[in-house]
Amino acid sequence: MQRVFIKGIKGGTGGTSIVANLACALKKSDVDVIAIDLDAKSDLSLHFGLPWTQTLGWSNAETFNDALSMFQQDSNGIIFLPFGDNSATANDVIDTVNNCQQLDLAPGTWMLYDCPSHIDITHYSLNHDDIFVELVNCDATCHSLIHKRLLALKKSKNNWKHYFLVNKYNSASLLEFDLFALWQTTLPLIAPFFINHDEVVKEATAYRNVAFNYAPYSVANDDIETLAGWLVSKAAL
């Protein structure tokens, strides 16, 4: 099992759409993909087309065994676990991640976690082969938060794979172009590509779908396939 944790360095970086579309890209390789929604906004289900009336998820379960009945499957064959409409503490989130390790999964399964931005990376029980992708936007706030994160990582005893990934990149912005160029030359953990801003992602979500299905020849689709291939290469290291 390969675990990938995706988290925004701040709110609004677009983590949920990345998780949903990445799941579809990986599924194209005929591997099992499971997506777990750890964010109380419970938006992951929207991307996978779950009806609004189905609001239950792991936060509504008294035990993880009860939560097993709440797994869903979308039209692409992706299995996902909604957050639900109940409140949950940071400890509940961590317990859910740990419990998912006990699932009886086929070899080669990819487990994707949509992580809330307010829970720090170091709170998760991470293994040396886990991949943690922290999404950033090319703006001054993220620039400051990245350097704070690097200082924190130096102080922590981390042995997992951690990377920054630029999402919602606007190629027409000179500021974003300059920031990305600066990060590429100064940050050791920055992914060597970016995910372009694409209105297709918003349009697909409005139809309760992913860009991967809604517009298979879009820029967003190409970028996500690049991300999927890059993660496969990192998992092999």
Torsion (CA) 124, 129, 130, 132 in degrees, nearest 10? 110
- Give residue 122's pLDDT: 86
Q: Which amino acid is at 64?
A: F
CA dihedral sign, ordered 187, 12, 10, 128: negative
Measure Cα distances from 234 to 10, 161, 231 in Å. 24, 8, 5
In terms of Cβ atoms closer than 10 Å to its own Cβ (0-12, 13-18, 19+), residue 80 is buried
Residues facing residue 72 across a β-bridge? 80
- Give residue 38's pLDDT: 98
Residue 149 sits in which domain range?
2-235
| Banded pLDDT at 208 (limits 50, 70, 90) | confident
Q: Provide the mean pLDDT of the chain.
A: 94
Mean pLDDT of 141-149: 95
pLDDT tens digits for range 151-183: 988 887 778 999 999 999 999 999 999 999 999
Contacts of 128 (CB under 8 A, 6+ apart): 159, 160
CATH of residue 47's domain is 3.40.50.300
pLDDT at 207 over 90: no
Provide the domain count of the chain.
1
pLDDT at 188 over 90: no
Measure Cα distances from 82 to 37, 54, 69, 98 in Å. 5, 10, 11, 16
CA neighbours closer than 13 Å in the CB half-sphere of residue 90: 10
pLDDT tens digits for range 24-77: 999 999 899 999 999 999 999 999 999 888 999 999 999 999 999 999 999 999
What six digits make up the tokens of 13?
A: 């970086």
pLDDT tens digits for range 214-232: 898 999 999 999 999 999 9
pLDDT tens digits for range 75-104: 999 999 999 999 999 999 999 999 999 999
Q: Say what angle helices 219-235 and 15-27 make with each other, to 10 degrees.
A: 70
